[in-house]
Structure 1
Amino acid sequence: MDVDEVQRSIDQALTFRSSPLRRNELEELGAALSQHRDALLPGAQEHVDNMWRGSLEWYRSRSTLDRVASSGGYLLGSAVLGDITHVMQLARDCRWLLELHLTAERAAGHDDA
């Protein structure tokens, strides 16, 4: 897992609206973020599965994880504002997954994540 690469994609998406819109860049960024999300999901699911069920943290994490996992079917189309919104949501989802990944790595004693 290249944490720096994931973070660069997140940063780029969250500042995307401050630069001129280029359709191909939006599509490439959406594809990269989708790949990052897919790579981070298994570890996030394992981490959440190991939480104490019934805790507020577990409930919030499980709910967010379910939403993130089910958002994979959106394809970029002709609605530019909707596509920008989707890519920005992918970035926020990846940021959350990355934070969860880093938390799990620290808890396992792998500070070199």
Structure 2
Amino acid sequence: MDVDKVRNSIDQALTLRSRPLRREELEEVGAALRRHRDALLPGVREHVDDMWRGSLEWYRSRSTLDRVESSGDHPLGSAVLGDLTHVMQLARDCRWLLELHSTAERAAAP
């Protein structure tokens, strides 16, 4: 997992509003974030499954993971502002996944 690439995509998505929106850039960033999300999901899913069920941490993580997994691969539409919102949500999801991925790696380290 190239953490720097994931962080770069997240940063790029979260700063899209600071300049004029371009459809091509939204599509590129959205596609990169979906790839990162898909790469992070299996490890995060395993980490959440290993948590103590019933704990507040497990419940919050499971709920967020369920929402991220159910968001699916909705293609961008024709409304640029709606697409921007979708890409920014993908970025926030990737940031959460990356944080949990890092937590799982630290816990697994000897």
Q: Same fold (TM over 0.5)?
A: yes
Normalised by the size of structure 1, how large is the TM-score?
0.95
- Matching residue of 2:89: 89
Identity of aligned residues (%): 82
Paired residue total: 110
Q: Structure 1: which 5+ residue stretches go unaligned?
A: none
What are the superposed Cα offsets for residues 22-51 of structure 1, whole Å, 9 maximum, x if unpaired?
Answer: 110100000000000000000010000000
Q: Structure 2: which 5+ residue stretches go unaligned?
A: none
SS in 1 for 2:54: coil
Distance 1:71 1:8 in 2: 22
RMSD: 0.9
What are the superposed Cα offsets for residues 40-85 of structure 1, whole Å, 9 maximum, x if unpaired?
Answer: 0000100000000000100000000000011123110101111000
Distance 1:93 1:73 in 2: 13
Higher mean C-alpha displacement, 73-82 vs 7-16: 73-82
Alignment check: 8 A CA contact 2:34 2:73 kept: no
SS in 2 for 1:83: helix
Q: Which amino acid aligns with 2:63?
A: S
- Matching residue of 2:66: 66
| Matching of residues 1-113 of structure 1 within 5 Å | 1-109=1-109
